[in-house]
Structure 1
């Protein structure tokens, strides 16, 4: 997510065609100026851009889609397909905003589009949603790894005087201590190579769960399934939307392509393949565990099985490798704002940032509800509402009736999801806390 250096996060995908590794979703590591320079040459091939797009859309949401399906019921699979189609279309709207003035080299990122549409206020608005989303995703990473490590190592505890840390809380703290030093690095090139495993890790998780079901005979004796659960649709919609919130990278992908006219085809391929992956995991996990599926399907797997351990360990890798890349844009913005210099300043800022995410992860240990909140509020705004509003502002009202109807429908649906999904997620989190 790259934007102006002083107020916004850097790009989170580096075009493969520029001798740089693929970065995963939210993998932001460099200032916007350098990212723009890298992407501006248009040297990435169609296949390379497809790989970048797949990596951008492959994230930890994969683990929660079975739970989302259990919340909404089998018929909510139609919503997964609908959300994918909507996010694909709004991705095209962002590309059209950039193509409106090909001679303008300043528009390379999503916040640049916001500034073109609404001035500095538009840039700040887009950046604010990105920062908030990055921060909550970093918290989700800690919760995710804490839950899965507690499953692999049950009964673990540490006593520090009168205080005792055990189970998930212990592992949240340990994971934070492990990743804190990685956040001190100003150059995250080494971590970028680790992040390149994102696409393969997502496929491996699905294959491991499939192996557990087909070969090890895990699951299929759990509670039954539900055709439709209207009360759970807001949560399901929020989780589905979270899976497709890669819009901040789409402008970079477009800028990096040799053949920019093939961007719509590239985007369609990425969305189709990712939807097949997400859909396969949703159906498989829900068939295996029914309405008893947990917020992360890996928590249902028996830890003693090899296939389960492969799935869980693969699940642990991505958050560990991406945490530093997620918090770096926030830390960089804070450092620029306070205006202090010296080697101790970045270390202090980033350490305090890690501690703050630990505090929230310990206070709100509900992965699915947190991701549903991110999807319902931040992702819907960034992936559905803002692209439509920016498109109309930059290019004017649509001339074709079908396009106008589509944009109105997306705005209406997105607004509904923001209200109902955010309310539902907040109520669920509050119910668990109190």
Structure 2
């Protein structure tokens, strides 16, 4: 049984295109009446969330989520605590709860009308607010699915340069391009997230090793800093930038639609999301707490810069490079699928040969753009803060709630859930606006005066 039917041609929703003709004209009340129950998933006698035999397992979806989410901001968490104080641990816990909630809401939105499955975050935005919603989601979505790989390549180029400079004289920018070349192989060859899920398994393993090494090394180095390290319970002036940076850690919304689409049992989405996010939160805590406990206000981003030099640091560097090679294709494939959908790059539209050629050229152009930007923005921590404030705060915390209210209706929520949504919106908007301002100032200072800040 097909899991989603296009209103015009009877094709799977994954092949739909974004068009103003597809935007429903029903009002919010009618949308609420038509909305599909996330648990039931039935409407008009059909089951939009029926088993999809040709799709992947719940475990594959779990690894896809963890691979994208867990590696996004792990190494910057001790620095986030250094910026905001120990209250950052509470912000981390609050962030994971809010992210799980909005992750469930956004998937409900793709089934809102009861007779088709929306194919992307951009389509949700368009169905909710027309062209304005489409453009807004496209802007923020692109800043994440391309910004996060850029962040990965900046980190990999910096760390590989430090690891090899005693042996070979290869500049940092060259290493960035080498990493881009390595990632382009699976990015071009693997068409969808179902195929990329194998890479996600190894990406999660690499991240787990990285977390273990960082935690152990930070703990062992504590004795060298315990008499001089300084902490803060809370630094009020830095709270927005801390919230913005921590929000990067849960930036998986950009791929949730494609991950859910690749699941054989879509009704298991809530369960898979909760377990995946809890696993990510655990790994974050294992890096953040020992890192800040050992280095306090002097914790760097990435935290590898604070660890003592030695074999363990080299292992950690190798693991983060491995994560780049394995996690970046997941995010970039999500972006490429949207581009290919807009330009009708599919076997049905182009044929097997032309589809392969167009897809290869398109993805190589995307990779070239990512590598070029990565070479222009070498300051990892400031870029990470800007990325989190600008893109993640909107996509994770703000837009899912507005879209749910518009498509399904705020009247379906009890008063306490509306209050919870208001808290999420306030935190998300504050993190976006104030965090972006602080991050842009820091980035400008880095480019103008250099890392020393003088």
Contact 1:151 1:299 in 2 (8 A): no
Q: Pick the aligned partner of 2:302 from 296, 299, 309.
A: 296
Partner of 1:132: 143
1:75 aligns with 2:82: no
Partner of 1:269: 275
Q: TM-score, normalised by structure 2?
A: 0.75
Counterparts of 1:5-16 in structure 2 under 5 Å? none
1:427 aligns with 2:441: yes
Counterparts of 1:21-420 in structure 2 under 5 Å? 40-41=52-53, 49-98=61-110, 100-101=112-113, 103-119=114-130, 121-155=132-166, 158=169, 166=171, 168-180=172-184, 183-185=187-189, 187=191, 192-214=197-219, 220=225, 223-252=229-258, 254=260, 256=263, 258=265, 260=267, 263-305=269-311, 307-328=312-333, 330=335, 350-398=363-411, 399-420=413-434
Q: Distance in 2 between matches of 1:317 and 1:212?
A: 19
Contact 1:3 1:110 in 2 (8 A): no
Could you list the runs of 5+ residues in structure 1 that have no partner in the other structure? Answer: 9-35, 159-164
Contact 1:5 1:333 in 2 (8 A): no
Question: Residues 152 and 266 (structure 1 numbering): CA distance in 2 closer, same or farther, change over 3 Å?
Answer: same
Q: TM-score, normalised by structure 1?
A: 0.78
CA offset at residue 249 of structure 1? Answer: 3.6
RMSD: 3.6
Partner of 1:26: none
Contact 1:117 1:393 in 2 (8 A): yes
* Larger Rg, first or second structure (1 or 2): 2
CA offset at residue 411 of structure 1? Answer: 1.7
Contact 1:152 1:303 in 2 (8 A): no
SS of residue paired to 2:410: coil
CA offset at residue 84 of structure 1? Answer: 1.3
CA offset at residue 145 of structure 1? Answer: 0.3
Greater Cα offset, 335-344 or 312-321: 335-344
Could you list the runs of 5+ residues in structure 2 that have no partner in the other structure? Answer: 1-12, 20-47, 449-454
CA offset at residue 330 of structure 1? Answer: 4.8
Partner of 1:162: none
SS of residue paired to 1:60: coil
Q: Distance in 1 between matches of 2:64 and 2:184?
A: 27
Question: Residues 146 and 430 (structure 1 numbering): CA distance in 2 closer, same or farther, change over 3 Å?
Answer: same
Partner of 2:34: none
Question: Residues 45 and 191 (structure 1 numbering): CA distance in 2 closer, same or farther, change over 3 Å?
Answer: closer
Deviations 1:12-38 (A, max 9, x none): xxxxxxxxxxxxxxxxxxxxxxxx999
CA offset at residue 365 of structure 1? Answer: 0.9
Partner of 1:27: none
Contact 2:64 2:200 in 1 (8 A): no
Question: Residues 190 and 417 (structure 1 numbering): CA distance in 2 closer, same or farther, change over 3 Å?
Answer: closer
Deviations 1:394-418 (A, max 9, x none): 1222342112212222222211111
